[in-house]
Chains A and B, each alone.
Chain A
Amino acid sequence: MTRRDHISSRVTSAQAGGLGVWLRGGLAGLVATALLGGVAGATNDTAPSGGTFAIRASKALICELDGAQAMDRAVILVQDGLIAAVGSEQELDVSEDTPIFDVGASWVMPGMIDLHSHVGGPSGYNDMVFQINSGLRVSATATPGNGRLRRPLAAGITTILYIPGSGTNIGGQGVLLHTHKAGFEDVLVRNPGSLKVAQGDNPKRWGYRMNRALMNHHIRYSLRQGKAYAQRWEAFEQGEAEEPARHINLDVYRDLEAEKIAISTHTQYFQVVLATLRILRQEFGFPTFIDHGSFDSWRLGGVAVDIGVPAILGPREVMWPTSPTRFPQDGRAEGSAWGFQKMGVKLVGFNTDAPVLPQEELPLQSAMGVRYGFDNSDMAAVRGLTIVPAIVCGIGETHGSLEVGKAADLVVLTGDPSDPRTTVQYVWIDGELVYEIPEGVRLW
């Protein structure tokens, strides 16, 4: 999907080397570049799309988990949908014929990732015929670029984990999708994206109304079957056993056993999260993350760190002392993100549970995390929208930060994304321009 066939057809200005002095030429087609070191490409007035181009911004949010977080006067070089280079404008060499898109005072950052979304399709993601539905795939209902994804894209959210509802204990398989409008194969990041498990609350309403003890039994029973199935395949692959019969409900556990995907777990309250940690992670060893993690769940942050379970928090970010209490408190509003961070959890991210909260308000979730105590002094809020969810769902090698070799999912915006007053101006997915806001077209 190339929106512009002639990337450099409107090159109108020239750059006087690394001094940052701009000579607006106005001579269409003329590319006059003085080579005084540093970035040397031809400047572009319109946002480029596809092929090779570079973006120069006043600040780049790098978002490495450990390491570089921000770089001033940065240039990001994109080649064939991937990030080819990242560097300061003084240091980075960009060839003369590479179009450079200078975004002035704006910032550039990796596309944001929401690991709890139900708006990847119109409906049909919460089938409740059975209480355990490991074989169901929401990808069957995915509708790329549907109306509910337009505004998230305009907010800089480039990837979602579209997951089943929480009406049953195992709702089925989520799918990782990009948010732009294209064919399913073009927006597909990974399928299955996760296995959805729901504990407590919602699934209790199923059929004849179950309680947590029976539900936990069901979950353990299913995971046991799945793990045994995966191990039979493992043995077969190592030549130690006969080829097992395929079982459509259990195939997903092979991906879990191989740690290719994780279990996204609808879990909140101390006691329910404790069951999540003990069963899904400690008993079965599957990659698992806490999804929601609201109320007093954060008190288990220490255990979660020890056994390697990250937390993707939302849409309820705070517990009020005035809300009906189930547990002792000290009279203060407690932010979920504050709590998990305080307990030492480094992989803290945010979600919207869209449409519970509008998907485009994902960055607001991080702002409210900060409001209610989450320490953002080293940009943890922005990591919670980018590299953390990428790592948590297993796409950290290819997405979530501005690092060489990763997908060129880029967002240009007027400032810090964790300030809701910031406006997103341009979005690229795999190096293709998928959103921009010229006057009159912006979505808000």
Chain B
Amino acid sequence: MIPSALATLLLCATTGLASAAESQTAAVANDQVNVQPASSRKAGATTAPAGEPGGKGLAIKTAKALTVPLEGEQFIDNAIVLVRDGLIEAVGPATQVAIPVGYEVLDIGDQWIAPGMVELHCHIAGTFDINDMVYLTNPGVRASTAVRPGDPKLKQGLAGGVTTVLFIPGSGTNIGGQGVLVKTGLDDYESMEVRNPGSMKLAQAGNPERWLIRPGRSFMNWNTRNTLQRGVAYAKRFEAAEKNGGPKPEKDLQFEVIRSLYKNEAQISTHTQIYQVANMTLTMVAQELGLPVFIDHGTFNAYRVAPRAKELGVNAILGPRGIDVPSFLMQSWAGTNPERIQGVAAGYQERGMDMIGFNTDSPVIPQEELSLQASMAVRYGFKWDNMETIRGLTIIPAKTAGIDHLVGSLEAGKHADLLLLGGDPADPRVGVDAVFIQGKKVYDATTQRRRW
């Protein structure tokens, strides 16, 4: 055990080291972060802290708010963010947003505010009971049964700024089951859940080829189409019954999720990479069946499908492999200079696609390094003139998962999932100093032990 005085010293040392050149200003700002909630707690222990449901309003003053709405200006300098009842009430320049009487004011000085990050490929929100391989298609299996609130890996991800995850089945079978969208920093499953099913996980090529009798891509393609086709027929029977008022068909656990897909209430998250495989995702799922789907991974030379993906409205959530190295998979490489590394995100962008997000496939890459995926995309050619890095960590995955009305940007009415940090989240040297989820401070590097 470390004596408490020593622990405090250690803590001071770590926070002091936290954020590069801004450390001094950040430290000043952090003091302000601490002071206000502490005093409010003294004032009345029974009321909820400001910003949370039941508490008074919270006004956060910041040097820069990365608002990243889907359209429009992507950031506001010298901004005020009003938070009430766990929601964002208003965001705007300090000159235009009046702080209502009675609101607690939190001035974070030079620190920035960004929306909590949204990670659409996560396997760490619970135990690893998410890759059952008894059958080759498992649309009825639910990852939600494995969620474990407060999982240590999830807490690390939270300290890296990830507030919403799509916890999905593994890719050992063609259809691994149903993912679930959850918030990372809350204490019980009911408050964590954002949507269940969050997605249906489809895996094409690669991993499922290892299943039992070693199916090839043609068989897997047929098997997947067969399942989806039957599911769509099931959904249509329900639709007809609802429309015509006839007796409802008997429920089938296997196909319920495909009803959600058919009604556009969930998406297919597709483990797909390499041009030929990704192209088959577009053909089979988007074009032939018309189900909502996004490309997950999308690596190697899969960026060649970008124009077609854009046309079909299929977004790409890329990672954890960020580059296509010609020497690694020469047979599929499409570039002109045999020495050139092709950045995967840059590949989609260069071909006109703009709905590009990032993932970690955690634990393949630690979830707290989600933002690094965006940094490395820039290193390998991804243009970020209009905050494409931040958008790919927030609003684009939110839109892709159909939860952009709840999270993904700093806009009035959305969840107050906020990151306070010393600068650009896409600079890996910048540490997250505090995280709010629905107005509740769930991580504070200055009062809790900094997780790094």
A residues near B (Cβ < 8 Å) are 147, 150-151, 318, 320-322, 330-335, 338, 341-342, 364, 367-368, 370-377, 381, 418-423, 440-444
Residues of A within 8 A of B153 (CB): 322
Residues of A within 8 A of B342 (CB): 444
**A444–B380 CA distance with the chains assembled, in angstroms:** 5
Of the residues B339, B450, B452, contact of A443 by C-beta under 8 Å: B339
Q: Is the CB of A330 within 8 A of B379?
A: no
B residues near A (Cβ < 8 Å) are 2, 7, 10, 13-14, 16-18, 20-21, 23-24, 152-153, 156, 323, 327, 337, 339-343, 366, 372, 375-376, 378-381, 384, 426-431, 449-452
Q: Is the CB of A374 within 8 A of B17?
A: yes
Q: Is the CB of A376 within 8 A of B21?
A: yes
**A180–B16 CA distance with the chains assembled, in angstroms:** 40
Residue of A nearest to B338 (CB): A147
Q: Could you list 15 examples of A-B contacts with CB < 8 Å?
A: A320-B366, A321-B156, A333-B452, A338-B17, A367-B375, A368-B372, A370-B20, A370-B428, A371-B431, A372-B452, A373-B452, A376-B429, A442-B340, A444-B341, A444-B379
**A335–B384 CA distance with the chains assembled, in angstroms:** 29
Residue of B nearest to A335 (CB): B452
Q: Is the CB of B340 within 8 A of A444?
A: yes
Residue of B nearest to A150 (CB): B339
**A368–B430 CA distance with the chains assembled, in angstroms:** 10
Q: Is the CB of A375 within 8 A of B339?
A: no
Residues of B within 8 A of A374 (CB): 17
Residue of B nearest to A321 (CB): B152
Closest 4 CB pairs of A and B: A333-B452, A444-B341, A370-B429, A421-B378
Task: Tell me how far the C-beta of A423 lies from the nearest C-beta in chain B, rounded to whole angstroms.
Answer: 8
The number of inter-chain residue pairs (CB within 8 angstroms) is: 101
Residues of B within 8 A of A443 (CB): 337, 339-341
Q: Is the CB of B451 within 8 A of A332?
A: yes
Looking at B152, B341, B342, the one whose CB has the most chain A CB atoms below 10 A away is B341
Of the residues B18, B21, B428, contact of A373 by C-beta under 8 Å: B18
Residue of B nearest to A373 (CB): B17
**A331–B156 CA distance with the chains assembled, in angstroms:** 10
Residue of B nearest to A333 (CB): B452
Residues of B within 8 A of A440 (CB): 337
**A151–B341 CA distance with the chains assembled, in angstroms:** 9
Q: Is the CB of A377 within 8 A of B21?
A: yes
Residue of B nearest to A337 (CB): B17
Residues of B within 8 A of A367 (CB): 375, 428-429
Q: Is the CB of B17 within 8 A of A419?
A: no
Task: Tell me how far the C-beta of B341 lies from the nearest C-beta in chain A, rounded to whole angstroms.
Answer: 4
**A7–B381 CA distance with the chains assembled, in angstroms:** 31
Residues of A within 8 A of B431 (CB): 371
**A370–B378 CA distance with the chains assembled, in angstroms:** 19
- List 18 additional contacts besides A338-B452, A441-B337; criterion CB under 8 Å: A150-B339, A330-B7, A331-B449, A333-B156, A333-B451, A342-B17, A364-B379, A371-B429, A371-B430, A373-B14, A373-B452, A377-B23, A377-B24, A419-B427, A421-B375, A421-B426, A422-B379, A444-B381
Residues of B within 8 A of A335 (CB): 452
Residue of A nearest to B23 (CB): A377
Residue of B nearest to A147 (CB): B327
Residue of B nearest to A444 (CB): B341
Task: Tell me how far the C-beta of A327 lies from the nearest C-beta in chain B, rounded to whole angstroms.
Answer: 13
**A321–B368 CA distance with the chains assembled, in angstroms:** 13
**A321–B449 CA distance with the chains assembled, in angstroms:** 13
**A332–B429 CA distance with the chains assembled, in angstroms:** 17
Looking at B339, B431, B449, the one whose CB has the most chain A CB atoms below 10 A away is B339
Q: Is the CB of A332 within 8 A of B452?
A: yes
**A332–B381 CA distance with the chains assembled, in angstroms:** 34
**A419–B339 CA distance with the chains assembled, in angstroms:** 23
Residue of A nearest to B336 (CB): A440
**A318–B372 CA distance with the chains assembled, in angstroms:** 15
Residues of B within 8 A of A420 (CB): 372, 375-376, 378-379, 428
Q: Is the CB of B450 within 8 A of A332?
A: yes
Residues of A within 8 A of B451 (CB): 332-333
Of the residues A322, A334, A371, A377, contact of B428 by C-beta under 8 Å: A371
**A372–B369 CA distance with the chains assembled, in angstroms:** 11
Q: Is the CB of A330 within 8 A of B341?
A: no
**A371–B342 CA distance with the chains assembled, in angstroms:** 26
Residues of B within 8 A of A422 (CB): 379
Q: Is the CB of A418 within 8 A of B429?
A: yes
Residues of A within 8 A of B2 (CB): 330
Residues of B within 8 A of A321 (CB): 152, 156
Q: Is the CB of A375 within 8 A of B16?
A: yes
**A334–B2 CA distance with the chains assembled, in angstroms:** 16
Task: Tell me how far the C-beta of B20 lies from the nearest C-beta in chain A, rounded to whole angstroms.
Answer: 5
**A381–B428 CA distance with the chains assembled, in angstroms:** 13
Residue of B nearest to A334 (CB): B452
Residue of A nearest to B16 (CB): A375
Of the residues A318, A334, A419, A442, contact of B429 by C-beta under 8 Å: A419
Residues of A within 8 A of B7 (CB): 330
Q: Is the CB of B429 within 8 A of A338?
A: no
Residues of B within 8 A of A370 (CB): 20, 428-429
Task: Tell me how far the C-beta of A428 lies from the nearest C-beta in chain B, rounded to whole angstroms.
Answer: 20
Q: Is the CB of B156 within 8 A of A322?
A: yes
Task: Tell me how far the C-beta of B12 lies from the nearest C-beta in chain A, rounded to whole angstroms.
Answer: 11
Residue of B nearest to A370 (CB): B429
Residues of B within 8 A of A371 (CB): 428-431, 452
Of the residues A322, A330, A376, contact of B449 by C-beta under 8 Å: A330
Residues of A within 8 A of B13 (CB): 342
Task: Tell me how far the C-beta of A320 lies from the nearest C-beta in chain B, rounded to whole angstroms.
Answer: 7
Task: Tell me how far the C-beta of B425 lies from the nearest C-beta in chain A, rounded to whole angstroms.
Answer: 12
Residues of A within 8 A of B10 (CB): 330
**A372–B19 CA distance with the chains assembled, in angstroms:** 10
**A443–B339 CA distance with the chains assembled, in angstroms:** 6
Looking at B156, B323, B342, the one whose CB has the most chain A CB atoms below 10 A away is B156
Task: Tell me how far the C-beta of A168 lies from the nearest C-beta in chain B, rounded to whole angstroms.
Answer: 29
Task: Tell me how far the C-beta of A265 lies from the nearest C-beta in chain B, rounded to whole angstroms.
Answer: 26
**A322–B327 CA distance with the chains assembled, in angstroms:** 35
Residue of A nearest to B363 (CB): A322
**A341–B21 CA distance with the chains assembled, in angstroms:** 16
Residue of A nearest to B340 (CB): A443
Task: Tell me how far the C-beta of B25 lies from the nearest C-beta in chain A, rounded to whole angstroms.
Answer: 11
Residue of A nearest to B160 (CB): A371
Q: Is the CB of A318 within 8 A of B375?
A: no
Residues of A within 8 A of B450 (CB): 332, 373
Of the residues A150, A341, A377, A442, contact of B20 by C-beta under 8 Å: A377
Residues of A within 8 A of B21 (CB): 376-377
Residues of B within 8 A of A341 (CB): 17
**A374–B452 CA distance with the chains assembled, in angstroms:** 10
Residues of A within 8 A of B14 (CB): 332, 338, 373
**A321–B384 CA distance with the chains assembled, in angstroms:** 34
